Each structure stands twice: as C-alpha cells, then as structure tokens.
Amino acid sequence: MATAAVEEQELDPSLPACVNLISAILAMEPSDLVISHARACGGGSITESVQKFIWDHCLSTPGDFYAPYLKIFLKKLISEVEFDHGYVLDYLYELYAQYMTSFKDDSFGKRDTRVCKRISYIFPDGCSELQSKQHSRALVFTLQCSLNMLEGDTGCSIWPSSLFLSELILSHPKLFSNKSCFEIGSGVGLVGLCLAHVKASKVILSDGDLSTLANMKFNLELNHLNIETDMPQGSENPIMVKCMHLPWESTSESQLQDIVPDVVLGADVIYDPVCLPHLVRVLAILLNRTKSDSCKPENGDACDESVGRCKVVYNGRADGKSKEAPVAYIAYVIRNIETFDYFLSLAKQANLDIMDLSDSLKPLNLLRYMQSYNQTHVKLLSITCSNRVMGA
C-alpha cells in the first residue's frame, strides 16, 4: 500500500532527494550513483512516479544530453526496475530502443569526446547572503569538458581540486569579492565562473594549452560572461573575465608586470616534477609586489622593500592602514608524496611561505549529490611571500 501511495503521488522537485537526483543526471554522474539517488526518491525502489519524474525533468528533451550517456543510464534504470519486479514506463522502453539502434557502445568515452555537463551548487537553506541573492537553492553552470580525465584532453576535464576551489569560493565569498583574482591552469574555467559570480573586481584566467584556452573561452560565453571586451553601454556592473595564454616554462616576469593580483588560485597544479620549478617561479612573480610593478608612490604613499628573491611591498596609506600582501590558494590531491615534497622544497628556496589550511578553511558541501567527488580527499594550501629581512 505504501508503494502504491508513492506511485500515485507526483514528486516535489524541491525535495532534497529529487534535487540530488536531477543534479546527478545533469552532471553525468555514473549510472550506479544516479540509481541510488532514484531509489532515495522512491523510498528504496524506483517507482513509476520516480520514472515519470526523471522523464519530465531530463529524458523528455533528450537532445540536451549526451546520448551515449543516457543510453547507458536507461539500460541500468530499466534493468533495476525489472530486477525489483516493477513496472517500466512504456516511453522509457521506447527511448532506450531508439538509442540501441542509433548509437554503438564504443561511442562513449573516446579520447576526443567533448560533452556538456551541468554542475549544480545546492545551497543549504539560509546558509549565506549569497543564497538570498540567488533567489534559488541551486546555482548551475554548463561546462563543455572531456570525458577522459587521464588521457589526452586533461586540461578540459573537471578535476576534484577545481570542484573544491569552486565550493570554497561560493562558501566564503568575502575572501574573493572585490578582489583582483588570477588563476593559473584554469582548465574548463569553473573557478573563474565562481569568482565572477561572487563579484571579484577582476578575474584573469590562464592556461598553457591553446586548445584548453579555446574551450575555456567557450565555457565562459556559454555561461553569459563577457571576455576581454569593452564594457557594454548602459550595463551595470558587467561581469568581465580575461583569458590569457600562460605556458609556465616560457613566461617571463615582464609578461606579468601589469598583473598585480590580490588572490592567486590553482587547482591540481602540483602534479608534474618537470613543471614544478616553472610553477614556483610564476607563483613567486605573482605574489611579489615590486617597486616597479605595484609600488609607485602616489599621493604620499610610501614604499618599503624587503631583501631576498621574493620581495614584499607594503603600500602606506593616508589612513595608516597597509594593503594586504597577495595570497595564493592552491587545492591539490597528493598522488605522489615525492613530487609534493619537491614542490615544498622549491617553494622554500623561493622564499614562499606555505600554510596548510585543510582543517581551518573548509567549504560547505554544495555538491553532495556528486558522490564521485569526495571533498575530504582534497587539501588546501595558502602561499605568501616571506617578509623576512636578510640578517634579521
């Protein structure tokens, strides 16, 4: 009787279980995980009302989704319902039959395959002023990305540390709002979208791969952001993002002299020992305020410089306050401890101070439906220039 009552009742799309189910499908989560969300909606089984809910919110317009993914999902959904001796809705059978005749099994997951995923950030009720500005529990970004995280198109994949940084930005907007932000290794552009959303004063995204850079620009435009254009006439507070080609190994200090960020961000950039010396050099340049770059005394401002490879400049103000030195937030997953230790040693040589914020600065769990991403597996570092004076 309980099951029949559920099946007769139309599901409320605002219920947490239903939000998780739709968000998981939009993000193209693995079928097994989506099925678990579907069972949660149906009280343990995939009822007819759950099937209708999936149809109404996703499958009735299948052209919006990557067809081979939906084919695999439909096969799993139908087999689960049949295994439970349930009734499969006729139009699910019909759609699956259509996919069976139209798409081969080997069309899913090819190296060069690009698809559009929708990443939904689900805010808890009353969690912050950001949610009230949203007038919605969910913030959704559409991203063209690669299906292969480990082969070929890595720069166009959505990596766990990028998801972590995006949650961090949306959870702690005051750290980034009205700040000039620069990201190294920006990939699909997800972090930049979140920075623009919390109203960073300037957002500059960079990547060393031209194909990745083109895909990143596509994603920014897909989410209605302006890229390297003049302010639209009559537009109030337009969201502006700049993209730049930045190969770490060939980047010179002069190329970055006009970039004086308040915040530098990087997701999963500590991975290749060959690249680490170049990465640390770029970080040292970005975190270093030199007299020629950022400290040109104006209106009585004073300038002091410390000694060493990494110089920290404090800009005196009439109100007696000093401008905060820039800080980098680097999210990472340790895959090789020797590589990580090598990064730490290079940072020390460059007079960069590193602090582990993994336990003290945590984001809200805004992607709880995404069971393939585990927030606790990602660590967070803050990096600043040392202000030690030689001989002190």
The residues of the chain scoring below 70 in pLDDT are 1-8, 62-64, 103-112, 126-136, 148-154, 229-239, 289-323, 387-392
Q: Where in the chain is the domain with CATH 3.40.50.150?
A: 160-385
List pLDDT tens digits, range 117-163. 999 999 987 654 554 444 457 899 999 998 765 555 667 889 999 99
The order of strands in the sheet holding 263-267 is 226-227, 240-245, 202-207, 180-184, 263-267, 327-332, 379-385, 352-356
pLDDT for res 151:
52
pLDDT for res 156:
83
pLDDT for res 235:
44
What is the CATH architecture of 160-385? 3-Layer(aba) Sandwich (3.40)
DSSP secondary structure of 216-277:
HHHHHHHTT-EES-PPPTT-SS--EEEEEE--GGG--GGGGTT---SEEEEES----TTTHH
pLDDT for res 239:
63
pLDDT for res 198:
96
d(CA 150, CA 371): 19
